[in-house]
DNA sequence: GATGAATGAGCTTTCATTCAT
DNA sequence: TATGAATGAAAGCTCATTCAT
């Protein structure tokens, strides 16, 4: 891409370009191995330019995580607003979560998989944002319990258990790409059904 | 004890010290952020000394992963050999896996959580070793299916779904230590029961 | 030299400064013993700065050799174009070669004296460039042979023998500076005359 | 080679083994790139053992050079003692020098080619030893002059010019092994004849 | 806003050398 | 005599970051 074309880009788009480039590189090379230089090269700007948009490298990571949480929370909130049968809502919520991970593997890995200890700053921010995200799942579970559909009445216990199930599948699918998984949709169906069947009152 | 023997033990001791220091730092700071210098400092040796025991940095990681897989595989194999009711075996296998993660959080994170892409060398070795590890779970599932106890007859499908469930819980518990989980044992019980109830034939 | 003075230097001169410093050090300390740090120190810049101008250490060496070959080839080519008596051309060519070595001892040592085996990269490039350089001498010899002036008609044999003679003198003069040579010009005259007399038809 | 065989070697042979291994490595890898460790490995001893025989690395280099000069000087002295026709003696001296270089390329490169500046210690020793070596050639030249056979009566001037010629050929042949030289014996004959013809009185 | 030259600290790794055994 | 563990220094190189322009 030539200089002129680059100049023609929307100026306010640079921030997004940086985030996108960083996201890709953070996952492909790892956060530590991704240098500001490489990000700058990818978007064809000088290294110094990055610092006009972000305080430092870790802030880029923070923004990526925030953005991820926010987008996932939005998707889950939409399901919450749905008036369908609670158990169907829950099922759809689980699927939505998994699908989000598959659709945004880079986002997911950076935000949900990488151990927080690997990153210096912004941890609390991300945890709080993660909690907001988690609350959507929690509310759907609550509706199921209020409707007497579950075999356990502790909202948090169930919500956390479900989160564990779908996070496990999501993280394995996006990080262990070399593993010989059975056909993906079948596996997703199975995991979701196990969770639903496993909590249903009988 | 002869001089040679004592020397050999001393040497072995330093090796272990290095591995232990590395394990801690790899998790606290991440593999990339952990420098040989920092490991050497922690055990109060000169940086060069590390190279008397390990070819390079990645070999340290390889040894840690190998050790982890090997220890977990051993635990799971023991359960496989048990002649108890298949479903009980399975239940115990799931618990054992989770407990292993809780007992060896550093091992678990490095080996199972960190995205393989973050690490250059030894990947295939670790993946193969991981597969061996997974096979133990698979065999237990097979026994359950042969006994007609499950609602699904695809061994791999079930085994992978179960792995997802327990890996999800394990990784969340060891990496999201700041998250307000419900009482740990209760959560573990719940997750295990969900998986078992979710696959049981009715 | 102070910081201000350094700042005042032409930016485009830094490349040359690096090359000059490297040339000196490569000869004084040897290529291997010359560290990037030492080069940087000599020109009063940070080590990393070198890498803004050269990909790595061997590229500095490559540039120095290239430059040397190119400059010598140019000088020799000029003599080739001369229409004087062939034997006079040849005599002048030999003198020019020796004078070049004396005028650029560092260039000469690095490019012609240091054993190629000591250096890993760029070897073929330098050998090829050296061959181009040698061809100029070869052409002058050819003219002498075609004019029936020599006692041997094998162009390569004569050219290589002459090269040996003048390279021997050049390399001794620039490397064995402590040796009690007779007065330099007299020695040069003698060597050149020996070569010319030694190949002349009688 | 096993440990037992190694133990069986003559103890006083270790010094020689070290020198031989060092000689090979110094030329193949360069002095700087040859580590004490590599020398020790090659002879299957511990690094520390080297220091029982040599004060430091540079002393190894010194001993190699000394040995080389001594052996060459011996060969040339033998020719000096010969009572043949002076010019024949000289011719044989030149050939002997070149043949020595070809027979001991490693020795020759280390001692005569590598710029003295590349090496820190022992320089004066080697130069002095080199001078002793040179004196043999000088004496043969003197005999030729006393017999009125040469076109120049300055012993040093002629001797140094001859040294230049044969050193040039020798160093090119042993260092530029990739260069497409004409058949070696023909080239040697030519160079020797050029030197002899170039100094002969007419 | 954007540049890119420059820095200083840090990296992994190798080295010559020492010394207790 | 010989070992080999250990060291401190230094290597080549990359980094996040700054700042004059």
pLDDT band at C44 (very low <50, low <70, confident <90, very high): very high
What 3-state DSSP class applies to C34? coil
Q: Are residues A68 and A37 in the same domain?
A: no
Number of domains present in the structure of chain C: 2
For CA atoms D109, D110, D114, D115, the dihedral sign is: negative
Tell me which range, B81-85, C18-22, C112-116, D176-180, is most confidently predicted by mean pLDDT. Answer: C18-22
- Nearest by CB to residue C168, choosing from D117, D124, D166, is D166
Distance CA D142, CA D77 (A): 14
Q: Is the CB of D117 under 7 A from strand E?
A: no
Taking chain C, what is the end-to-end CA distance rounded to the nearest angstrom? 62
Q: Is the pLDDT of residue D123 over 80?
A: no
* DSSP state, residue D110: I
Six-digit token string for A157: 């216990």
Chains contacting B (3+ CB pairs below 8 angstroms) = A
- pLDDT of D69: 87
CATH number of the domain within which D47 lies: 1.10.10.60
Q: Is the CB of A46 under 7 A from strand E?
A: yes
Would residue B183 be called left, alpha or beta, if left means φ above 0 and alpha means ψ between -120 and 50 degrees?
A: beta
Q: Is the CB of B121 under 7 A from strand E?
A: no
Q: Are residues B1 and B99 in the same domain?
A: no
CB contact under 8 A, C113 and D118: no
Cα-atom radius of gyration of chain D, to the nearest Å? 20
Give me the mean pLDDT over the C131-149 stretch.
92
What are the tens digits of pLDDT across the range A142-177? 999 999 999 999 999 999 999 999 999 999 999 888
Q: Are residues D120 and D148 in the same domain?
A: yes
What are the tens digits of pLDDT across the range B52-100? 999 999 999 999 988 888 899 999 999 888 888 999 999 999 999 999 9
DSSP states of chain A: --HHHHHHS-TTHHHHHHHHHHHHHHHHH-TTT--HHHHHHHTT--HHHHHHH-SSHHHHHHHHHHHHHHHHHHHHHHHHH--S-HHHHHHHHHHHHHHHHHH-HHHHIIIIIS-GGG--SSHHHHHHHHHHHHHHHHHHHHHHHHTT-BS---HHHHHHHHHHHHHHHHHHHHH-TTS-PSPHHHHHHHHHHHHHHHHB--
Q: Is the CB of C13 under 7 A from strand E?
A: no
Is B87 an 8 Å CB contact of chain A?
no
Question: Could you say which nucleotides of strand F lie within 7 A of any protein CB atom?
Answer: 1-20
Contacts with A160 from chain B: Cβ below 8 Å: 172, 181-182, 187, 190
Q: Which domain holds residue A34?
A: 1-54
B177 phi and psi angles, rounded to 5 deg: -65, -15
Is C165 an 8 Å CB contact of chain D?
yes
Distance CA C112, CA C108 (A): 6
Distance CA B173, CA B160 (A): 20
Six-digit token string for D22: 């060092």
- Nearest by CB to residue B190, choosing from A152, A179, A196, is A152
C179 in Cβ contact with D127 (< 8 Å): yes
- pLDDT of B118: 44
Given D14, D34, D54, which residue is the final one in a domain? D54
Q: Are residues D85 and D117 in the same domain?
A: yes
- Nearest by CB to residue D115, choosing from C109, C160, C197, is C109
Q: Which residue, B121, B110, B103, is CA-closest to B27? A: B110
For CA atoms D126, D129, D131, D137, the dihedral sign is: negative
Residue nearest to nucleotide E7 (CA to C1'): C46
Is C184 an 8 Å CB contact of chain D?
no
Q: Are residues D107 and D124 in the same domain?
A: yes
This model's pTM is above 0.85: no
Closest nucleotide relative to residue D11's CA, C1' based:
F1
Six-digit token string for B150: 């499950």
Out of B108-117, C82-91, D21-30, least confident range = B108-117
CB contact under 8 A, C33 and D32: yes
- Nearest by CB to residue A197, choosing from B166, B181, B198, is B198
What are the tens digits of pLDDT across the range B174-183? 998 888 999 9
Q: Which residue, B47, B70, B65, B60, is CA-closest to B15? A: B60
Distance D13 CA to F2 C1' (A): 15
Six-digit token string for D117: 């500046």
Distance C11 CA to F19 C1' (A): 16
Min distance B135 CA to chain A CA atoms (Å): 12
Q: Are residues B90 and B72 in the same domain?
A: yes
B158 in Cβ contact with A191 (< 8 Å): no
Q: Are residues C43 and C81 in the same domain?
A: no
* DSSP state, residue C122: S
Q: Are residues C90 and C131 in the same domain?
A: yes
Distance CA D24, CA C117 (A): 12
- pLDDT of B4: 59
- pLDDT of C179: 86
Six-digit token string for D164: 């230049």
Distance CA B97, CA B102 (A): 9
Q: Are residues B66 and B87 in the same domain?
A: yes
Q: Are residues D89 and D170 in the same domain?
A: yes
How many angstroms separate the Cα of D124 from the Cα of each of A16, C25, C169?
Answer: 67, 21, 21
Q: Is the CB of C11 under 7 A from strand E?
A: yes
Contacts with B156 from chain A: Cβ below 8 Å: 182
Is B18 an 8 Å CB contact of chain A?
no
Contacts with A161 from chain B: Cβ below 8 Å: 169, 187, 190-191, 194
How many angstroms separate the Cα of A88 from the Cα of each of A142, A185, D13?
Answer: 13, 18, 87
Q: Are residues D177 and D77 in the same domain?
A: yes
Six-digit token string for C80: 């080739």
How many angstroms separate the Cα of B106 from the Cα of each of B22, B65, B133, B156, D192?
Answer: 10, 10, 18, 28, 74
Q: Is the pLDDT of residue A184 over 60?
A: yes
Mean model confidence pLDDT for chain A: 87
Is B58 an 8 Å CB contact of chain A?
no
D52 in Cβ contact with D60 (< 8 Å): no
Given D17, D35, D54, which residue is the final one in a domain? D54
CATH number of the domain within which A88 lies: 1.10.357.10
Q: Is the CB of D178 under 7 A from strand E?
A: no
Q: Is the pLDDT of residue B22 over 90?
A: yes
Distance A127 CA to E16 C1' (A): 51
The residue count of chain C comes to 202
The single residue listed with the structure tokens 């593999």 is B31
Q: Which residue, C101, C98, C111, C114, is CA-closest to C194? A: C98
A97 in Cβ contact with A166 (< 8 Å): yes
pLDDT band at D92 (very low <50, low <70, confident <90, very high): very high
CB contact under 8 A, C167 and D168: yes
Six-digit token string for A28: 């492909």
B21 in Cβ contact with B99 (< 8 Å): no
- Chain A residue at shortest CA distance from B109: A115
With 0-12 / 13-18 / 19 or more C-beta atoms within 10 angstroms meaning exposed / middle / buried, residue D11 is: exposed
Q: Are residues B117 and B91 in the same domain?
A: yes
Distance CA C173, CA D126 (A): 16
Q: Which of residues 52-81 of D touch strand F (CB under 7 A)?
A: 52
């Amino acid at each position: 891409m030539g200089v002129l074309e680059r100049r023609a880009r929307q100026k306010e788009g640079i921030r997004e370009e940086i985030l996108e480039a960083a996201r890709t590189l953070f996952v492909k090379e790892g956060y530590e191995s991704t240098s500001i230089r490489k990000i700058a090269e990818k978007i064809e700007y000088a290294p110094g330019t990055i610092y006009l948009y972000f305080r430092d490298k870790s802030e880029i990571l923070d923004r990526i995580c925030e953005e991820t949480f926010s987008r996932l929370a939005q998707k889950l909130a939409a399901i919450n607003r749905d008036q369908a049968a609670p158990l169907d809502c829950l099922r759809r919520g689980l699927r939505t979560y998994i699908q989000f991970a598959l659709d945004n593997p880079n986002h997911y890995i950076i935000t949900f998989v990488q151990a927080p200890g690997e990153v210096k700053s912004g941890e609390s921010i991300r945890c709080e944002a993660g909690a907001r995200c988690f609350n959507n799942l929690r509310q759907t579970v609550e509706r199921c319990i209020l409707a007497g559909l579950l075999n356990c009445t502790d909202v948090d216990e169930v919500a956390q258990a479900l989160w564990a199930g779908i996070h496990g599948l999501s993280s394995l699918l996006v990080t262990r790409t070399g593993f010989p998984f059975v056909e993906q949709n079948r596996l997703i169906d199975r995991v979701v059904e196990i969770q639903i069947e496993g909590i249903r009152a009988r």
